[in-house]
A = this chain, B = another copy of it.
Amino acid sequence: MTLRCGGRMQMADGATGVEQGWDRASILALFDAEAGWLDRRVLSDQALYQLELERIFARGWNFMCHDSQIPNVGDYFINYIGEDQVICVRGEDGEVNVLLNTCRHRGNALCRAEQGAAKSFVCSYHGWNYALDGKLIGVPGQSSYFHGDLDRSQLGLVKAAQVDSYLGFWFATMAPDAPSLHDYLGDVGRTGIGMICSYGDVEVIDGIQKNVIDCNWKIAVDNLFDWYHVMYSHASAGSAGIFKPAEILHPNNQLVMLGEYGHAISGPGLPSERQTQIDLMSDEERIEASRSAPANSQRIRPRLGAELMGASGVRSMGHPNIFPNLWITLGGMQVCLRLPRGPSKTELWWFTIVPKDAPASYRKVAVWTAIHLFGPGGLLEQDDGENWSQSTRASVGFSSRQLGQTLKMGLGHDRVTVDEHGQRFIDTRINEHAQRWLYRSWTEWMAARDWAELRARHSPAPEGAV
């Protein structure tokens, strides 16, 4: 199925932030990568937001769900591509289908539950019936009222243009010409997901926490790379004893990886020497060491870790983000989706993940950690939301929105290293490389009219000095 092509209004000269359209040059000017300066309007402009839904979310690969959430034929989980609701359902063939949750008759939503199991999807309005792969298989009155001439083959549920999974994590894009998931993820994206699976096959624990914050989705993404705020924002969580900043932060051992199309990983990294020691341990020893403290940032991953994350990536104790909005945290024990709901509203969805074969004791600690650190009731997470909403709010006022954000930390002070396997990474201190990469990539996505242009004009993953 072909989506109608939606062009963009030409930018009127001197148009105001509130009403204007945006051309390539004005979009690229929103972030000055050399100066580490970001135009605040990226957080509040309504036209930019609409463009994001089209050029970032409909075009990128969006995380849908994990294999374990929908194990059986007919199991489904509702998710979003931007603001478009989709059904992620296990088809008869065992594959996952991603279908726009809207009937082709009058548009009614097929599924209204957040999750469930279905034999087929029957519309509550007139009873059109769709198979698990979206095919329209039943239309009441098809022969009598429709005289048998309704072409059902043209009226199936709209499928995402591409659906694919990596290590059990399903993604979808509305763009037929998007790169394959494998290519899209690239080394950095795969390293990120690999982090989750370093201890083997995983499953999602029942219960996705969902809440809404009055902030732009990008400030939440910026924050996941931000190990600078931990000491100050989360001081009270530290003093309450829920985490020990010193054990977690390692400000002078930070490992950053920047991937094509905007993916990045940032945060503490084991020094290579420490990794070398770990490499000498047996898998059993490593797992034993890890499981004794799952919330601990000392990631002593089994051999599988290095296979999935690379020899350098495996050192990461930080935070991957799969562009645009999938954060991997707690060393892979949780992922958090940030779903856009308008320029100043974001839904956060928290998925908690454990290795399938993890002992009950590990699972218990994992759940405890996930609940008490993150999510709306988590002692860390409580501190973040209002900083994000207040930062978003300060991009609205007439004078305040003329200002920029400052993203200068480490700018020009670091180098990308390439290891013997070709994996690129930066060993450094606390920095803002990943955030700059996020916004640089974001402007390129936003400025490109289609995938051909994005492919042609996006920045390659950085080499050399950054």
Contacts and interface: CB of A to CB of B under 8 A. Distances in A.
Nearest to A18: B50
B399 A3 contact: yes
Given A100-B400, A126-B229, A127-B231, A107 B144 contact: no
Contacts of A83: 396-398
A403 B104 contact: yes
A276 B396 CA distance: 53
Contact of A402 (B4, B13, B410): B4
A18 B396 CA distance: 20
Interface string A145-161: 11101100001001000
A307 interface: no
A88 to B, nearest CB: 15
Interface residues of A, number: 92
A125 B233 CA distance: 5
A163 B271 CA distance: 53
B430 A141 contact: yes
Interface stretch (A52-60, A69-77, A352-360): A52-60
Q: Report copies per complex.
A: 3
A398 B54 contact: yes
Secondary structure dominating the interface of A: loop
A118 interface: no
A17 interface: yes
| Max chain B C-beta neighbours (<10 A), residue from A6, A106, A158 | A106
A249 to B, nearest CB: 11
Contact of A106 (B3, B46, B54, B405): B405
A263 to B, nearest CB: 22
Interface string A91-110: 00000000011111111110
Contacts of A14: 6-10
A338 to B, nearest CB: 16
11 contacts: A6-B402, A7-B15, A19-B19, A40-B107, A81-B399, A82-B397, A108-B394, A109-B393, A140-B228, A140-B231, A144-B252
